């Protein structure tokens, strides 16, 4: 349950 495995819904900046 790491923050890196979170969906893009919570981490939209992950693709940025």
15 band by pLDDT with thresholds 50, 70 and 90? low
Q: What is the pLDDT of residue 1?
A: 58
Mean pLDDT for 11-15 is 61
For residues 1-16, one letter each, b for 16 or more C-beta atoms within 10 angstroms of the residue's C-beta and e for the rest, the string is eeeeeeeeeeeeeeee
| Of 2, 1, 3, the residue nearest 11 (C-alpha) | 3
Is the pLDDT at 6 greater than 60? The verdict is yes
| Average pLDDT along the chain | 64
CA distances from 13 to 2, 3, 4, 10 (A): 16, 13, 12, 9
């Amino acid at each position: 349950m790491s923050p890196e495995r979170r969906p893009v819904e919570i981490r939209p900046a992950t693709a940025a």
